[in-house]
Amino acid sequence: MKKALELILKLLALIALTMVYAGEIDLTPLYAHIKAKYRPSAAYYVSVLSALAVFLILLDFIQVAVVWLYRRRMRIINDDNFVVGIRHLYSIVLVVGVVIGLLSLFQIHIRDVLTSISIIFAGLAILTKDYVSNMINGMILTFSGQISIGDNVRIGQHRGKIIDITLQNIHLINDDDDVIYIPNNTAMNTDITNYTRRLIKRVSLDFEIDLKYLNSVEELEQYLVETLNPFSDQIQPNSPYLRIAEIHRGSVKCKFQYILRVPDKDLERVIRRTVARRLVQLISAREKYVDKISGLPDGREEA
């Protein structure tokens, strides 16, 4: 109801200002007391200001109407990439329109400005190329559909959930609730892994363990699987398993993976923390055991 009323008021204001700009509504009586020599200037300023107001209200009306119609059609409440992209376009067109309106208000022709300060514009273009490139890449990322707000991704060395995509940065929140700002240029020039777009919502915990603390892969796998017993209702049966990713001289890199029945970022964080702590507990116990038997004569175990 509030949005509909806002649209109606903007539409009425748009119609009134358009009539003023077209001359259907005469505002001359409002400045009739001004001397005759200033009346043409006053009429010019009224015309420019009314045109600028028409532009601002029309642009805002179009943006609100498009977003409202899109949300109604797609039946969504929160912002997605399309809504964010429309707002980015709105901001760019708004800045350009206001600059042109201010130049017109001071009776400065855009062609004369571009001609007289073309060298300055060339210098500004060089100085702001990274900023402009970031903006363009932000628009590409927004409308490409490769990543969306709410996706769980890895960009370079950073992994987290996308909470916003602006014209300059991608905002990630990681497992430690730290907000990471990644420039759009960096995102476009690095590998992006989108875990949300996988057909199977597999969760992976990567770790490295020294061989002296590892009796067998099967034993370690069984230990980690038993760690998931409190969460058995949220995990698909027979999905947890331990995979050897890399083998080094004195250690191995492992991936402990499982599949959640329903993707849940908070639950994933809780399970990840639980498994990591139990793994640290196991390694600590093995380390104490290894140190104990290493202190015995000839490294023999106690009877």
**pLDDT tens digits for 257-297?**
888 887 777 888 888 888 888 888 888 887 776 666 665 45
Contact between residue 90 and residue 59 where contact means Cβ atoms under 8 Å apart: yes
* pTM score: 0.55
**CATH superfamily ID and name for 202-294:** MTH677-like (3.30.300.100)
For the record, the structure tokens of 246 come out as 């890399």
Report how far apart, in Å, the C-alpha atoms of 271 and of each of 4, 34, 198, 221, 232 are.
45, 76, 20, 16, 11
- For domain 145-194, the question of CATH label 2.30.30.60 is answered with yes
- 63-104: per-residue pLDDT in tens? 888 888 888 887 777 777 788 888 888 888 888 888 888 777
Residue 80: per-residue pLDDT: 77
| pLDDT above 90 (res 7) | no
Residue 292: per-residue pLDDT: 66
Strand partners, 253: 208, 246
For the record, the structure tokens of 50 come out as 């009314």
Contact between residue 96 and residue 150 where contact means Cβ atoms under 8 Å apart: no
Which three-class secondary structure state does DSSP give residue 9? Answer: helix
